[in-house]
């Protein structure tokens, strides 16, 4: 089954890429919810947070470090938010694990 984020990771669908390495990629969200809205994905297909196992520990660390790097590269010195949506009630619409990095304006809490 095709997965849009797998296609982006493979370079078959274009994206506004910030950076990538062998494990992760960061690119701008096509429908930004804040002045800066970057997605960080593992290149390997992991459907959602519930599919993560203890064996993914190193990868999870890489994803968080990539989120921090994306915030720094986009100049979010005033702060930012990292979000993982999981499942329908969590607002997940793409079935490939991803971190949202949001910033560039004050973000309300709690989120909607
Ligand atoms: P979520 O709702 O948490 O699953 O987040 C999925 C995100 O992917 C949404 O914010 C979408 O705007 C974003 N998105 C979907 N397709 C693309 C794409 N081709 N390029 C960049 N972002 C995308």
Atom of ligand 1 minimally distant from the CA of 31: 12
- Summarised one tens digit per residue, pLDDT across range 29-70 is 999 999 999 999 999 999 999 999 999 999 999 999 999 999
pLDDT at 1 over 80: no
Atom of ligand 1 minimally distant from the CA of 27: 21
63 sits in which H/E element: helix 57-73
Cis preceding-peptide flag for 14 (omega within 30 of 0):
no
Confirm or reject: Cβ of 94 under 6 Å from ligand 1.
yes
Residue 108: C-alpha distances to residues 33, 48, 81, 103 (Å) = 12, 25, 10, 11
Percentage of the chain with pLDDT > 70?
Answer: 99
59 sits in which H/E element: helix 57-73
Angle made by CA atoms 87, 91, 92, in degrees to the nearest 5: 55
CA of 38 to the centre of ligand 1 (A): 10
């Amino acid at each position: 089954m095709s997965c849009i984020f797998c296609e982006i990771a493979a370079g078959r669908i274009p994206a506004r890429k910030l950076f990538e390495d062998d494990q992760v990629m960061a690119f701008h969200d096509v429908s930004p919810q804040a002045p800066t809205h970057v997605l960080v994905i593992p290149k390997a297909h992991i459907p959602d947070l519930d599919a993560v196992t203890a064996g993914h520990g190193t990868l999870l660390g890489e994803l968080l470090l990539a989120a921090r790097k994306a915030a720094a590269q986009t100049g979010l010195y005033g702060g930012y938010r990292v979000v993982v949506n999981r499942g329908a009630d969590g607002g997940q619409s793409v079935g490939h694990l991803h971190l949202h990095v949001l910033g560039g304006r004050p973000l309300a809490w709690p989120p909607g």
